[in-house]
Amino acid sequence: MKNHVLWQIALTFASLSLVAMGGANAVVPEIHRQIVGAHGWMNDATFSQLFAIAQAAPGPNILLASLIGWRIAGMAGLAVATLAMIVPSSVLAFTVGRLVNRLADAPWISVTKAGLVPIAVGLIMAGGLVMARAAVHSLFSLAITVGAAIFVLCSDRNPLWALAGGTIISLLGLWGGVVK
Amino acid sequence: MKTTNNIVPGQGVPSPLPENVAGRIGLKQLFLGFLKIGLLGFGGLAPVAHHVIVEDRAWLTEQEYASLLGLGQILPGGNIINLAVIMGDRFQGIWGSLTALAALMAMPLVILMALALLYERFAGLAVVRTAIGGSAAVAAGLVIGTAAKILWKLRLSWIGLLFAALAFAAVGLLQLSLVPVIVVLAPLSVGVAYTRRRS
């Protein structure tokens, strides 16, 4: 039965690897749809908590997949999810990297980018909406989400500052009796 | 598309990099460089990757970095992961790719495991649950803010905005499955960009 779960994890993330335009944040809605919705492997609260932990760690944001794999099936799940997310797209990158030689003056790259970037941005925004739906339960947490969005918009500081600030404000809210 | 002259089929390992640079960077240097990128990449890898590769180690010039990153960005998957795969191959072939990739993932995975174990151990405490709940709310805001910022900086044409809105509505609001949405929207959007570029 365990193998069955690992197989499902592999299929879920491998199918997303090749459509993750602009990285993992663009596939957050689909990961959520499959993990929380279709498979019912975890609830909204756990999903948003894992997302927060993945954000707090350094490294590529596909670590969200690793963490979800770990939560569902332990170390084996972590290994399978990480590889499933990385291998297909890396094999493609390796192949294309060898086929493409002179990059600097390749107009098709800038045209492809011009076409893909708007979709990637729309998907990342959708990812933010899905995360907010899972993480915002009160006016207090809504204010934190809005505050973090404004922080990113208005400053170029490392987003880790916002993560630290929001966490401290939440704890102050807990001790002040604002949040339960 | 009449751009095939820009796609040169690989004869050995094609390299746009100066010979002396490509030969000089061994597996050990690749490993240490990408280990550093992974370890210091809090809140996004892009700034630290640029720092290490262009400024600190001078492996690539600004222009070479920009063009390799551009390729990494149009390919699916993490941009810096793709960059590691392609750069590793340019410097040391397939072993270079595997080394750069492993080095990039090593420290983040270790730190992630430590955080996950702490979470598992202490998730029952109200303080911990509140802290993580708070950072989850922040994380959602960070993603929304980042998307808004990119949108603001890009100054997209109305057609670009239309595709962004379609992708957002299909996946975020209607919660449609991602793969068919991309299979439909991506070729359309690239096709439109191609037509507009030619005219």
pLDDT digits (tens, 9 = 90+) for A113-148: 888 889 988 998 998 998 898 889 899 999 999 999
**Has residue B184 been placed in a domain?**
no
Inter-chain CB proximity A104 and B130 less than 8 Å: no
Least confident of A39-53, A78-92, B9-23, B146-160: B9-23
d(Cα B131, Cα B29) in Å, to the nearest integer? 39
**Has residue B173 been placed in a domain?**
no
Mean of per-residue pLDDT scores for chain B: 84
Domain count for chain B, please give it: 1
At B9 the pLDDT is 36
Q: Is the pLDDT of residue B8 over 80?
A: no
**Has residue B91 been placed in a domain?**
yes
Q: State percent of chain B over pLDDT 70.
A: 88
**Has residue A167 been placed in a domain?**
no
**Has residue A121 been placed in a domain?**
no
pLDDT confidence tier of residue B63, bands split at 50, 70 and 90: confident
**Has residue B179 been placed in a domain?**
no
Taking CA atoms, A43 is separated from A46, A123, B121, B189, in Å, by 6, 22, 19, 35
Q: Which residues of A touch B130 (CB under 8 A)?
A: 170-171, 173-174, 179
At B155 the pLDDT is 85
Q: How far is B33 from chain A (nearest CA, A)?
A: 14
Its pTM stands at 0.82
Average pLDDT value for residue range A85-90:
96
Residues 99 through 128 of chain A touching chain B, CB cutoff 8 Å: 99-128
C-beta atoms surrounding B63 within 10 Å: 12
Q: State percent of chain A over pLDDT 70.
A: 94
d(Cα B101, Cα A17) in Å, to the nearest integer? 15
**Has residue B38 been placed in a domain?**
yes
Inter-chain CB proximity A136 and B145 less than 8 Å: no
Inter-chain CB proximity B86 and A94 less than 8 Å: yes
At A71 the pLDDT is 94
**Has residue A113 been placed in a domain?**
no
Q: Is the pLDDT of residue A150 over 50?
A: yes
Mean of per-residue pLDDT scores for chain A: 88
Sign of the torsion formed by the C-alpha atoms of A15, B144, A131 and B178: negative
Q: Locate the chain B residue with the closest alpha carbon to A148.
A: B141
Inter-chain CB proximity A97 and B38 less than 8 Å: no
Q: Is the pLDDT of residue B68 over 90?
A: no
d(Cα A53, Cα A67) in Å, to the nearest integer? 8
* A174 has a chain B CB within 8 A of its CB: yes
The per-residue DSSP string of A61-107 comes to: TTHHHHHHHHHHHHHHHHHHHHHHHHHHHHHHHHHHHHH----TT-H
At A93 the pLDDT is 94
Q: Is the pLDDT of residue B23 over 80?
A: no
pLDDT confidence tier of residue B69, bands split at 50, 70 and 90: confident
Q: Locate the chain B residue with the closest alpha carbon to A133.
A: B140
Beta strand extents in B113-184 (DSSP E only):
none
d(Cα B48, Cα B35) in Å, to the nearest integer? 11
Token pair belonging to A178:
């604002």
Q: How far is B71 from chain A (nearest CA, A)?
A: 7
**Has residue A18 been placed in a domain?**
yes
Stronger pLDDT, B4 or B74, i.e. the higher one: B74
**Has residue B58 been placed in a domain?**
yes
**Has residue A115 been placed in a domain?**
no
Least confident of A47-56, B107-116, B165-174: A47-56
Burial B3-30 (b: 16+ CB within 10 A, else e): eeebeeeeeebbebbeeebbeebebeeb
Q: Is the pLDDT of residue B6 over 50?
A: no
Angle at the Cα of A27 from the Cα atoms of A26 and A32, rounded to 5 degrees:
130
Domain residue limits at A74: 2-103
Which of B83, B116, B165, B194 has the alpha carbon at shortest distance from A118?
B165
Domain residue limits at B41: 1-122
Domain count for chain A, please give it: 1
Q: Is the pLDDT of residue A84 over 90?
A: yes
